[in-house]
Amino acid sequence: MDCNLSVDQQLLAESVRDFLVDTHGPEMLRKLDAGDARDPAIWDGLVGMGLTGLLVPEEQGGLGMGLVEAAAIARECGRICLAEPLVDTAFVAVPWLAAKGETDELARIAAGERRVSLPHSINPWVADGDGEALESVDPLRRLVTAPADATDDPLLLDLAALMSAAQMIGLAEAMLDQATEYAKVRRQFGQPIGGFQAVKHQLADCAVAIEFAMPVVWRAAEALHNRRASASVHVSHAKLAATDAAIATAETAIQVHGAMGYTYEVDLHFWMKRVWALSGAWGDRAFHYRRIEDAVVGGTLPIGPEHSFA
């Protein structure tokens, strides 16, 4: 299968990117960090673009699109380090509620009147929910304690893990861009550090890791959208690939920036902290490796060419 975005999907993602770049740059991140991490005008803009209703059926006021389109936009949310809980509400809660037949709230979600973050037993927290506040490594995430009766539904887990992976692709791309631009202007021994082979190779390795992880995420989105039997394995593969690419890029970007990479004065830290937060959310590495191992070695999923290319 073709694990690339279609032209229409690319155009949709680019239009969202253009909007977010104009409204949610580093200056806005610092403003949000200094305040309460939320700005109603940003949410209103997301609603105005129809993003809160992206996956809501048309008869309930939404756009009726699919998980591949949602993953493409989640990538853009990661690229800009979006603070608002758009992904949790519109790309995770909406398809889960729709799949469970709980459609009463969908019209309100599409209209931007309702924000929903669903608790799951694998996470001891809920983003932007009601409850006892928790501290996060990411200052732009507002976490509260998850209720004791949180669901253990694997579909919710898969949706959230998929969208976390898509965001980490965007986060990695943004950090790579920042490191590359810095390497062009930071000079040592009379030339930009980007001219040194060691730096070029590190950045190239990150670019390759991101490029390899991206189609894995689109494949997982397609499989989950169509409820394929292999969907959970593809989601775990996507979470691992995106996490590895994002962590490696964060480490490289810090090294390229030198000692400054760790400081608050460098914008990079917002993206780094979001990667750290998402890498452990919705299943850590051990959890997703175990799911893949159970499928490939344990035999829970039929493998072989007759299944892969059916």
Which range, 36-40, 150-154, 182-186, 219-223, is most confident?
219-223
Q: Does residue 2 surpass a pLDDT of 70?
A: no
Residue 237: CB atoms within 10 Å: 23
Dump pLDDT digits (tens) for 226-245: 999 899 999 999 999 999 99
Hey, what amino acid is at 255? Q
Compute the mean pLDDT over every residue in the chain, rounded to the nearest whole number: 90
Our CA dihedral for 92, 98, 100, 106, rounded to 10 degrees, sits at: 90
Hey, is 191 helix, strand or coil?
A: strand
pTM for the whole structure: 0.93
Which residues in 271-310 are b (16+ Cβ under 10 Å) and which e?
bbbbbbbbbebbbeeebbeebbeebeeeeeeeeeeeeeee
Dump pLDDT digits (tens) for 12-54: 899 999 999 888 989 999 999 998 888 899 999 999 999 999 9
Q: Which residue, chain included where needed, has tokens 């680019």? A: 14
Residue 188: CB atoms within 10 Å: 11
Judging by beta carbons within 10 Å of its beta carbon (0-12, 13-18, 19+), is residue 132 exposed, middle or buried? exposed
Q: Please state whether beta strands 187-188 and 191-192 pair in parallel, antiparallel, or not at all (unpaired).
A: antiparallel
Q: Which of 256, 268, 252 is nearest to 183 (CA)?
A: 256
CATH placement of domain 7-114: 1.10.540.10
| pLDDT of res. 184 | 84
pLDDT band of residue 195 (cuts 50, 70, 90) is low
In the chain, where are the structural domains located?
A: 7-114, 154-308
CATH placement of domain 154-308: 1.20.140.10
pLDDT above 90: percentage of residues in the chain: 65
| pLDDT of res. 100 | 92
Dump pLDDT digits (tens) for 243-294: 999 999 999 999 998 878 778 888 999 999 999 999 999 999 999 999 999 8
Bridge partners, residue 143, by sequence: 127, 134
pLDDT above 70: percentage of residues in the chain: 96
| pLDDT of res. 22 | 85
The dihedrals phi and psi of 133, each to the nearest 5 degrees, come to: -70, 145
| pLDDT of res. 183 | 85
| pLDDT of res. 265 | 86
Asked if domains 7-114 and 154-308 share a fold, the reply is: no
| pLDDT of res. 304 | 73
> From CA 235, how far away is CA 240, in angstroms rounded?
9
Give yes or no for a contact between 175 and 82, defined as CB atoms under 8 angstroms apart.
Answer: no
